[in-house]
């Protein structure tokens, strides 16, 4: 038995490659992926009714992911906005909040909003590693 495989977008749950497996002998077809005990697709597969729709139409439906496309678009916009500046490059605008990556005296690193006043960063026991304009996240110009 030599099954044909049509590859589709990855599993939305675990990211493994998905394919439509077609049994040449009985014509049965199913969406499935390789063994992954961490994913629900390890326990079942989507049996396709060949009389209901063609493989190409099943693939088109599987690959149509408007929510995933919208989220990826939002992520691309956010990554474009989040242009980190190194700490050596100070903000040109004072008296504003910025999103910062901070490091404590103990070496712990985290991100948080911090104020950049007329005398510099308002930080105690921590140091700014890098920052970006938080107002851009809300449609601001700075
Ligand atoms: Zn999966």
Residue 87 to residue 57: CA distance in whole angstroms: 52
Measure 88 CA to ligand 1 centroid, in angstroms.
Answer: 44
The SS3 of residue 78 is helix
Measure 14 CA to ligand 1 centroid, in angstroms.
Answer: 4
**Nearest of 47, 132, 51 to residue 93 by alpha carbon:** 132
pLDDT digits (tens, 9 = 90+) for 34-93: 888 899 887 777 888 878 888 888 889 889 999 999 999 999 988 888 889 999 999 999
Residue at a domain's end among 46, 64, 82: 64
Is residue 117 predicted with pLDDT exceeding 70? Answer: yes
Residue 96 belongs to a domain: yes
Residue 104 belongs to a domain: yes
Q: Are 14 and 40 part of one and the same domain?
A: yes
Q: Are 123 and 103 part of one and the same domain?
A: yes
Q: Are 99 and 132 part of one and the same domain?
A: yes
Measure 66 CA to ligand 1 centroid, in angstroms.
Answer: 19
Q: Give the number of domains in the chain.
A: 2
């Amino acid at each position: 038995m030599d099954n044909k495989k049509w590859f589709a977008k990855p599993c939305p749950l675990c990211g493994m490659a998905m394919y439509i497996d077609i049994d040449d002998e009985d014509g049965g077809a199913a969406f499935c992926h390789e063994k992954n005990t961490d994913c629900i697709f390890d326990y079942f597969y989507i049996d396709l009714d060949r009389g209901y729709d063609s493989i190409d139409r099943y693939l088109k439906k599987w690959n149509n992911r408007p929510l995933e496309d919208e989220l990826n678009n939002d992520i691309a916009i956010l990554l474009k906005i989040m242009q980190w500046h190194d700490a050596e490059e100070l903000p040109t605008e004072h008296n504003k909040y910025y999103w910062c990556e901070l490091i404590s005296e103990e070496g712990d690193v985290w991100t948080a909003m911090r104020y950049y006043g007329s005398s510099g960063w308002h930080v105690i026991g921590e140091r700014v590693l890098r920052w970006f304009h938080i107002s851009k996240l809300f449609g601001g110009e700075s």
